[in-house]
Chains A and B, each alone.
Chain A
């Protein structure tokens, strides 16, 4: 049930499991290349957050997913269903915090957290620099409201994997990472208005912070903040730019993860 809800895909072989979690705006396909590099040594687990990719649209509950805890509960349920112990959790962007929350909810499930472009709080707050003002976030939500073109109810079945109607799939202009714009807006709100700074010092998992050189969503000062706040953490500054090094520099990300685990 949980495995269908979150479109969980398990591959690879190994005693330890490595779970890859996508961030806001995409789905598990963004991890495909990096994840494939670990299939020889790890049980590789990919999934879509509810509301993204090929997750079960009926499982979307606006109240539950208005907080990152809702997503973290799903991660814990997936971990329980697959009987994970001392696994590695690799979370991109907002999923870095979702993984952190899951590790607090289920001690022993994840021994290692790998945070790719993490931010515990996107909005500036006093001395804390998150990089975003509230007004800028409202602008983002407006942008998402304008981008309904790539989505219509007719496309939903194709996106959800309706194999008996392939013609729907062919019509998709953007076949990856398609999301109902209303859910995208809510996920954006949940993501960018989250504040998990207080959770960082409580983390006990070994943690690797992977930071991109230029990233307007999670700038280096935020990555350094996370490293300073998480007790058992290592900080690696990648040469990659942008917010998705798993796509723009998969080899560099793979090397960094391999070096850590």
Chain B
């Protein structure tokens, strides 16, 4: 059978609508009038506005009409048509301008598809996105409060700890102690040092997260004595471990020496915690080709490759004995200090050794 073009127009599986340049209806097909429950004869000559919801009318004037004039076509517009009872019929519309040979605007043609379920679905998506955004904003707020709390708590814990450390020093220096007493005071001192270091890390973490970032106080420093001091402190805390320091720096480095000390201390403490007790920990620093390099190596079980990628994330803790659990901030802070110095920190790990290497420009300003 031949296609009947007049029938195709009237009963097409989509709505057809043609407008004069002043947006009055010239022709409308039966499919569309059936959808709307209106008669075609009464609609011809009426403005398009008669078919549109208020929002659609404004959008037609502010968006579609200008676009049609500018580019001659508009695609995929979501419109609500008004049916005979004033109900809304969601449709997707495409429109083109028919122009004469002189470019004059002759007609505007619209094709419409029903989009009831599609519109419901899309509104659902938009609502879900809005809700997700609201939840994320609320969570962000809570996270900030939590981090502020951590910062305040960490700060307030420093004072009693300082008092404790002073008391312990006083007892060690001035009091006569039994051998057992001397040993206990040493252990207490080591515990206080460890607690102080943990709090410093928590504070740095909170500062970093609260947007202040790590602030550096840079000066030109001979780093070897600074690193010697760090190694000596850790020897005090971990007298059973063998620490080998080897520093050939040769030139002053522009850096925040307190931060570099903190970085070294975190790396060495990490090696003490995770390294095999019988194997010495090597701490090495040198300058080569204008790069300052500090590395800390320990023996023992290598870090699994999967864990390596996450090592520098805050609150990451490897698979260690419970008693050795820290907060998991040490390496994160190392990473932040390296970054603040324009440097980086890398790790290699094999059966022979696990080595953390910090490098930064030696002439950094």
Interface residues of A, Cβ cutoff 8 Å to B: 23-26, 29-30, 93, 136, 139-150, 173-177, 214-217, 241-244, 247-248
Does the CB pair B67–A174 fall under 8 Å? Answer: yes
A128 CA to B149 CA, complexed, in Å: 54
A105 CA to B77 CA, complexed, in Å: 39
Say if the beta carbon of B336 comes within 8 Å of chain A. no
Does the CB pair B67–A148 fall under 8 Å? Answer: no
- Known A143-B80, A146-B123, A147-B78; contact A177-B58, beta-carbon cutoff 8 A: no
Please tell me which one of the listed residues B49, B53, B57, B65 contacts residue A247 in the complex, with CB atoms under 8 A apart: B65
- Known A149-B78, A150-B76, A241-B22; contact A30-B70, beta-carbon cutoff 8 A: yes
Main SS class of interface, B:
helix
A217 CA to B61 CA, complexed, in Å: 8
A142 CA to B56 CA, complexed, in Å: 10
**Among B65, B70, B78: residue with most chain A CB under 10 A:** B70
Contacts of B70 in A (CB 8 A): 26, 29-30, 176-177, 247
- In the complex, the chain A residue whose C-beta lies closest to that of B61 is A243
The distance from the CB of B132 to the nearest CB of chain A, in whole angstroms, is: 15
Contacts of A142 in B (CB 8 A): 55
Contacts of B58 in A (CB 8 A): 140, 143, 216-217
Contacts of A23 in B (CB 8 A): 62
Please tell me which one of the listed residues B53, B63, B65, B123 contacts residue A242 in the complex, with CB atoms under 8 A apart: B65
Does the CB pair A26–B62 fall under 8 Å? Answer: yes
Say if the beta carbon of B66 comes within 8 Å of chain A. yes
Say if the beta carbon of B59 comes within 8 Å of chain A. yes
- Known A29-B70, A176-B70, A177-B70; contact A248-B54, beta-carbon cutoff 8 A: no
Please tell me which one of the listed residues A26, A30, A140, A214 contacts residue B54 in the complex, with CB atoms under 8 A apart: A140
Contacts of B71 in A (CB 8 A): 174-176
* 16 A-B residue pairs with CB within 8 Å: A23-B62, A30-B70, A140-B55, A143-B56, A145-B123, A146-B90, A146-B119, A147-B78, A148-B122, A148-B126, A150-B77, A173-B75, A176-B70, A176-B71, A244-B61, A244-B66
Does the CB pair A244–B65 fall under 8 Å? Answer: yes
A-B residue pairs, 5 tightest by C-beta: A143-B55, A25-B62, A247-B69, A173-B75, A243-B61
A26 CA to B63 CA, complexed, in Å: 7
Please tell me which one of the listed residues A26, A139, A143, A149 contacts residue B76 in the complex, with CB atoms under 8 A apart: A149
The distance from the CB of A202 to the nearest CB of chain B, in whole angstroms, is: 28
The distance from the CB of A243 to the nearest CB of chain B, in whole angstroms, is: 4
State which size class the interface on B falls in.
Answer: 20 to 34
Does the CB pair A147–B77 fall under 8 Å? Answer: yes
The distance from the CB of A174 to the nearest CB of chain B, in whole angstroms, is: 6
- Known A146-B78, A150-B76, A216-B58; contact A26-B126, beta-carbon cutoff 8 A: no
- Known A174-B71, A241-B22; contact A144-B59, beta-carbon cutoff 8 A: yes
Does the CB pair B55–A174 fall under 8 Å? Answer: no
Say if the beta carbon of B21 comes within 8 Å of chain A. yes
Does the CB pair A143–B59 fall under 8 Å? Answer: yes
Contacts of B92 in A (CB 8 A): 149
Say if the beta carbon of B283 comes within 8 Å of chain A. no
Say if the beta carbon of B74 comes within 8 Å of chain A. yes
Contacts of A144 in B (CB 8 A): 55, 59
Contacts of B59 in A (CB 8 A): 25, 140, 143-144, 147
A214 CA to B49 CA, complexed, in Å: 12
- Annotate B199-235 by CB proximity to A: 1 below 8 A, 0 otherwise: 0000000000000000000000000000000000000
Contacts of B80 in A (CB 8 A): 143
User: Could you tell me which residues of chain B, from 30 to 74, have a CB within 8 Å of some CB in chain A?
Assistant: 47, 49, 53-59, 61-63, 65-67, 69-71, 74
User: Could you tell me which residues of chain B, from 82 to 108, have a CB within 8 Å of some CB in chain A?
Assistant: 90, 92, 105
The distance from the CB of A225 to the nearest CB of chain B, in whole angstroms, is: 19
**Among B55, B58, B70: residue with most chain A CB under 10 A:** B58
**Among A136, A142, A143, A214: residue with most chain B CB under 10 A:** A143
- In the complex, the chain A residue whose C-beta lies closest to that of B57 is A216
- In the complex, the chain A residue whose C-beta lies closest to that of B105 is A248
A147 CA to B118 CA, complexed, in Å: 12
Contacts of B61 in A (CB 8 A): 25, 215-217, 242-244
Q: A216-B49, A242-B23 are known contacts; what are 19 more A-B pairs with Cβ within 8 Å?
A: A24-B62, A25-B63, A25-B66, A26-B67, A30-B66, A140-B55, A143-B58, A147-B78, A148-B122, A149-B77, A149-B92, A150-B75, A174-B71, A176-B67, A216-B58, A247-B69, A247-B70, A248-B65, A248-B105
The distance from the CB of A192 to the nearest CB of chain B, in whole angstroms, is: 8
Contacts of A146 in B (CB 8 A): 78, 90, 119, 122-123
A139 CA to B105 CA, complexed, in Å: 30
- In the complex, the chain B residue whose C-beta lies closest to that of A145 is B126
A30 CA to B92 CA, complexed, in Å: 24
Contacts of A93 in B (CB 8 A): 62
- Annotate B131-149 by CB proximity to A: 1 below 8 A, 0 otherwise: 0000000000000000000
- Known A24-B62, A147-B77, A147-B78; contact A244-B123, beta-carbon cutoff 8 A: no
A217 CA to B63 CA, complexed, in Å: 12
- In the complex, the chain A residue whose C-beta lies closest to that of B22 is A241
A30 CA to B58 CA, complexed, in Å: 17
Contacts of B69 in A (CB 8 A): 244, 247-248
- Annotate B165-187 by CB proximity to A: 1 below 8 A, 0 otherwise: 00000000000000000000000
Contacts of A145 in B (CB 8 A): 123, 126
Does the CB pair A242–B78 fall under 8 Å? Answer: no
Contacts of A216 in B (CB 8 A): 49, 57-58, 61
